[in-house]
C-alpha cells in the first residue's frame, strides 16, 4: 500500500505541473498533428493509393498516433535530466523514504497521461478530417503501452545523459529516424531487407502495425504485443537500476 502511495506522490507532482500548464499543453499538442493531417492527409495523401483500399488518411492516422505518443511520452520524462544534473531536485526523492521503483513508475505514468491526452486530441482531429478507424480497448491499451515504453527510454536517457546537447542528439539520432521509418508514413515492406529487419526490431514499428491493424479491424500479430511488453519490462529494470545507482 505504501508503494502505491509513493507512486501516487511522484505522479501527483507531475500532475500539479501539468495542471499549471494544461491549456498551453493542449494547444501546443494540436500543432504537429494538424500539420501532419493537412500536409500528408489532405495535401500529399489525396494522390496516394493504399493497397488496402482505404484512404491514405486512414493509413496515416495510426502512424501519427504512434509517433506522436512516442515523442510526447519521451519528452515528458526527459526533464528528469535537468532535475538530476542542474536543479538537483531529484535528491529530494533519493533522500526520502520512498520505494525507489516508485519514482520510475510515477514518472512513467505521468508521461503516459500526457501521451494519452495528446493522442485523444489527434483522435478528435482525425475524425474531424474524415478518417475512418475503430478505437477499441486493445487499441487504447497499445497506445498506453507505447507511451510507457518510450517514457522508460526517456527516463533511461535522463539518467545517463550529461548535457542538453546530448539529449538533443538522442532526439536527432533515435526518435527522428524512428518517426519516419517505423511504419508511420509508409509500410516497412518497401524498405530494403537489411534495413527492414533492423527497423522491425524497434518498438515503434510494432506499435504502428498494431494500431493500424486494430484500427482497421484486421487481425494483428500477438508477437508485436510481446515485443512491446519485452521493451516495457527491460526498460523498467534498466530505469530502476539507473535510479538506484545514482547513489554511487
Positions in the binding site for other proteins (CB under 8 A):
2, 5-6, 9, 12-13, 16-17, 20, 83, 87-89, 91-98, 247-248
120 contact partners, CB below 8 Å, separation of at least 6: none
Q: Closest distance between other proteins and the C-beta of residue 27, in Å?
A: 19
Q: Which lies closer to other proteins via its Cβ, residue 39 or residue 96?
A: 96
Q: Which lies closer to other proteins via its Cβ, residue 189 or residue 245?
A: 245
Q: Which lies closer to other proteins via its Cβ, residue 95 or residue 134?
A: 95
Closest CA to 119 of 179, 73, 166, 151: 73
Q: Which lies closer to other proteins via its Cβ, residue 36 or residue 243?
A: 243
In the DSSP assignment, the letter for residue 187 is -
Q: What's the CA angle centered on 42, arms 36 and 46, to 5 degrees?
A: 120
User: 222-244 and 203-216 helices cross at what angle (nearest 10)?
Assistant: 140
Q: Which lies closer to other proteins via its Cβ, residue 158 or residue 228?
A: 158
Q: Closest distance between other proteins and the C-beta of residue 96, in Å?
A: 4
Q: Closest distance between other proteins and the C-beta of residue 77, in Å?
A: 14
Longest CA–CA span in the chain (Å) reads: 59
Q: Closest distance between other proteins and the C-beta of residue 97, in Å?
A: 4
Q: Closest distance between other proteins and the C-beta of residue 2, in Å?
A: 7
- CA–CA gap between residue 220 and residue 209 (Å, rounded): 8
Q: Closest distance between other proteins and the C-beta of residue 175, in Å?
A: 23
Burial string for 148-168 (b: 16+ CB within 10 Å, else e) reads bbbbbbbbbbbbebeeeeebe
Q: Which lies closer to other proteins via its Cβ, residue 4 or residue 195?
A: 4
Q: Are 122 and 204 in contact (CB under 8 A)?
A: no
Count of alpha carbons within 13 angstroms of residue 60, beta-carbon side: 26
In the DSSP assignment, the letter for residue 131 is -
Amino acid at each position: 500500500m505504501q508503494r502505491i502511495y509513493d507512486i501516487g506522490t511522484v505522479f501527483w507532482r507531475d500532475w500539479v505541473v501539468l495542471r499549471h500548464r494544461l491549456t498551453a499543453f493542449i494547444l501546443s499538442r494540436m500543432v504537429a498533428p494538424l500539420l501532419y493531417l493537412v500536409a500528408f492527409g489532405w495535401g500529399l495523401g489525396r494522390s496516394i493509393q493504399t493497397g488496402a483500399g482505404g484512404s491514405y488518411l486512414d493509413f496515416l492516422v495510426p502512424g501519427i498516433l504512434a509517433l506522436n505518443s512516442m515523442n510526447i511520452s519521451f519528452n515528458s520524462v526527459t526533464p528528469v535530466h535537468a532535475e538530476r544534473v542542474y536543479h538537483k531536485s531529484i535528491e529530494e526523492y533519493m533522500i526520502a523514504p520512498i520505494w525507489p521503483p516508485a519514482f520510475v513508475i510515477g514518472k512513467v505514468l505521468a508521461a503516459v497521461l500526457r501521451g494519452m491526452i495528446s493522442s485523444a486530441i489527434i483522435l478528435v482531429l482525425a475524425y474531424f478530417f474524415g478518417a475512418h478507424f475503430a478505437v477499441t480497448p486493445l487499441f487504447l491499451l497499445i497506445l498506453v503501452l507505447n507511451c510507457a515504453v518510450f517514457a522508460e527510454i526517456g527516463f533511461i536517457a535522463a539518467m545517463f545523459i550529461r548535457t542538453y546537447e546530448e539529449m538533443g542528439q538522442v532526439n536527432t539520432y533515435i526518435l527522428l529516424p524512428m518517426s519516419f521509418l517505423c511504419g508511420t508514413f509508409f509500410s516497412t515492406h518497401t524498405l530494403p531487407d537489411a534495413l527492414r529487419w533492423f527497423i522491425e526490431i524497434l518498438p515503434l514499428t510494432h506499435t504502428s502495425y498494431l494500431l493500424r491493424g486494430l484500427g482497421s479491424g484486421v487481425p494483428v500479430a500477438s508477437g508485436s504485443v510481446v515485443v512491446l511488453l519485452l521493451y516495457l519490462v527491460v526498460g523498467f529494470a534498466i530505469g530502476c537500476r539507473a535510479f538506484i545507482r545514482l547513489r554511487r
